[in-house]
């Protein structure tokens, strides 16, 4: 077994290998010390053309190859289920049932198990059986509609909103909540985590603002989606970009002081809608007068709510990320360190995505000793 330190040390997890938010959720649990065993089918590999070690969602755990169409391999999985505390699957609804591992059957064998199900549309509803990806699941929540510039279609926001935010993180909160209940009562349950549900929850503040008449929901129409001059990104003289987000009046005042705009009448009324175009034009011109590095010298570290827009390849070298050791290098691969941080149970350094395989006997021997 690949045993690890962290606050979840000793928690026994079965992960049905797949792609997207379910492996990210399993990775996150493994980062925090859980003993995660990936169940892969023969020949299963990451669909993109990279080496397995670069598939970092698979870090910090080992795999067991099982062909669940074979009775002997299916029985091996049942042997693990009887000893596990958590099972994670991210298939289309009905797939686990077809494999013979429906929640009802699994909970009958292990009543204290937490059965985590990760889908885009959920286990029920008219779209439950439809294929999709992060962008689609977020699209029905209002989150995508409010992204981007007003005169352009909404951009694709990578896979952070639905896959990781509304999906994996919501699944793990649900799993750990259910695990707390199971350990206290011996009663397991199914956690149905749908990405669209999770993104809807992430939009709670926006729904409240809209109900109060303070959110239009339109692209570049509100104070934190580009609708104001003082919460957006600007280009600098060297073709790079910076961000400002001085929402509160005291931070806006400090921003004006540091940029020499305190007495500029265009900035007299921070929140006035009619003042935003002139402010935006002035800031566009201002930030083009210096390089990104020069603006960092003026604004970074102040209460002006400023940060440079850093490319992915440079994130690990930013002074703040370096100071906090937010990245680690393993086998030549620079990767994000586990998060969050724990004062008493710090996690181990992660592995790469090809931590290797484990034999059934090794798992059973270890998990028998743990029970």
**Is a pLDDT exceeding 80 seen at residue 190?**
yes
Instruction: Say what the pLDDT of residue 45 is.
Output: 83
Instruction: Say what the pLDDT of residue 100 is.
Output: 97
User: Which helix or strand (DSSP H or E) is residue 334 part of?
Assistant: strand 333-336
**Is a pLDDT exceeding 70 seen at residue 371?**
no
CA distance 237 to 312: 20
State pLDDT tens for residues 130-155: 999 999 999 999 999 999 999 999 99
CA distance 151 to 148: 9
Instruction: Say what the pLDDT of residue 112 is.
Output: 98
Instruction: Say what the pLDDT of residue 178 is.
Output: 98
54 labelled catalytic: no
Distances (CA, A) of 332 to 46, 100, 147, 347: 20, 41, 36, 20
**Is a pLDDT exceeding 90 seen at residue 369?**
no
Q: What percent of the chain has pLDDT over 70?
A: 99
φ/ψ of 235, rounded to 5, equals -80, 150
Instruction: Say what the pLDDT of residue 1 is.
Output: 67
Whether the model clears a pTM of 0.85, i.e. scores above it, the answer is yes
Instruction: Say what the pLDDT of residue 46 is.
Output: 82
Residue whose structure tokens are 């990405």: 195
State pLDDT tens for residues 317-347: 999 999 999 999 999 999 999 999 999 999 9
Q: Which residues are bridge partners to 192 per DSSP?
A: 117
Q: What percent of the chain has pLDDT over 90?
A: 95
Which of 54, 133, 181, 366 is labelled catalytic?
133
- Name the 3-class secondary structure at 273: helix
Q: Which residues are bridge partners to 12 per DSSP?
A: 35
Mean of pLDDT values over 192-208? 98
Which of 163, 192, 197, 222 is labelled catalytic?
163
CA distance 195 to 109: 28
**Is a pLDDT exceeding 80 seen at residue 52?**
yes
**Is a pLDDT exceeding 90 seen at residue 44?**
no
Answer yes or no: are the C-beta atoms of 234 and 284 closer than 8 Å: yes
Band of residue 11 on the pLDDT scale cut at 50, 70, 90? very high
CA distance 342 to 23: 22
Mean pLDDT (the chain) is: 96
Question: How far separated are the first and last CA of the chain, in Å rounded?
Answer: 15
163 labelled catalytic: yes
Q: Tell me the residue ranges of DSSP E strands in 213-311.
A: 231-235, 241-245, 306-308
Answer yes or no: are the C-beta atoms of 118 and 21 closer than 8 Å: yes
Q: Which domains does the chain have, with CATH numbers?
A: 10-200+326-365 (3.40.50.10540), 229-312 (3.30.1540.10)
**Is a pLDDT exceeding 90 seen at residue 370?**
no
Mean of pLDDT values over 66-92? 97
């Amino acid at each position: 077994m690949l045993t690890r330190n962290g606050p979840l040390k000793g928690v026994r997890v079965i992960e049905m290998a797949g792609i997207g938010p379910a492996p990210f959720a399993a990775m996150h649990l493994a980062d925090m010390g859980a003993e995660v065993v990936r169940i892969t089918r023969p020949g299963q590999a990451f669909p993109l053309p990279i080496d397995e070690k670069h598939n970092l969602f698979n870090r910090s755990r080992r795999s067991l190859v099982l062909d669940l169409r074979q009775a002997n391999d299916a029985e091996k999985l049942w042997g693990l289920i009887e000893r596990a505390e958590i099972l994670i699957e991210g298939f289309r609804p009905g797939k686990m049932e077809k494999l013979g591992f429906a929640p009802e059957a699994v909970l009958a064998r292990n009543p204290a198990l937490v059965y985590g199900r990760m889908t885009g549309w959920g286990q029920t509803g008219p779209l439950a059986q439809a294929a999709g990806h992060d962008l689609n699941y977020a699209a029905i929540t209002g989150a995508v509609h409010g992204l981007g510039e007003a005169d352009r279609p909404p951009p694709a926001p990578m896979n952070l909103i639905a896959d990781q935010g509304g999906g994996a993180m919501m699944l793990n909160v649900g799993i750990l909540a259910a695990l707390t209940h199971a350990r206290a009562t011996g009663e397991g349950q199914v956690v149905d985590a749908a990405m669209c549900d999770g993104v809807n929850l992430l939009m709670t503040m926006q729904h409240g603002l809209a109900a109060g008449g303070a959110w239009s929901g339109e692209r570049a129409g509100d104070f934190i989606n580009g609708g104001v001059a003082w919460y957006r990104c600007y280009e600098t003289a060297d073709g790079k970009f910076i961000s400002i987000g001085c929402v509160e009046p005291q931070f806006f005042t400090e921003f004006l002081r540091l940029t020499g705009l305190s007495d500029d009448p265009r900035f007299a009324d921070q929140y006035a809608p009619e003042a935003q175009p002139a402010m935006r034009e002035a800031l566009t011109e201002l930030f083009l007068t210096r390089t990104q590095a020069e603006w960092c010298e003026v604004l970074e570290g102040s209460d002006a709510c400023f940060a440079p827009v850093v490319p992915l390849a440079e994130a690990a070298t930013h002074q703040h990320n370096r100071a906090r050791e937010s990245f680690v290098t393993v086998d030549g691969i620079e990767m994000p360190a586990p998060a969050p941080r724990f004062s008493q149970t710090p996690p181990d350094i992660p592995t790469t995505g090809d931590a290797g395989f484990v034999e059934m006997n090794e798992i059973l021997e270890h998990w028998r000793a743990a029970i």
